[in-house]
Structure 1
Amino acid sequence: MLKRLFLPLGLVLAFLLAWLEPAWGQAGRQAGLVPWVVVVIFLVNGYQIRLAELPRDRGFVKALLATAVISLLLGPGSDC
């Protein structure tokens, strides 16, 4: 149960902290922590996925390939 709620509760906590103390977020951005926070979010999300529960039909494989092409080839052109 806790594993399932870890990411949503963490996001709620992050929103509350950002609302109550926005200077912390600004300091984190200036320190270059934003990419690391994104990595942590993806790791936690991956920790929550059970590979046995993923669909294995053709539509899922096509969607996975399309997502990979968009995120790895088409998306990296911006300097955000």
Structure 2
Amino acid sequence: MEMIAAQQRGIHVECFHFGSQSEGTTIPGLQSDIDVLFSNIKANIMRVWGDWKAGMVNLLMLNDDMIPQYLLQVIRKY
């Protein structure tokens, strides 16, 4: 829904949803959160190194068991 709404306003983005609902770690009776990451299509967000694209800003998603969120590492364009 967020992507469609942004596109109607002329903004081209990708949307990633994270958090306990998407991870399947919700507990019945508790309100879980939804974390949303919006990415301008001028930047390439990579889950693995194979997703790297030349000539773009590349951001590698990093996840550590000690940190309950993703970190983005900037990777060189070339």
Interval containing the TM-score (normalised by the shorter chain): under 0.3
* Superposition TM-score, scaled by structure 1 size: 0.25
* Superposition TM-score, scaled by structure 2 size: 0.25
Higher strand share: 2
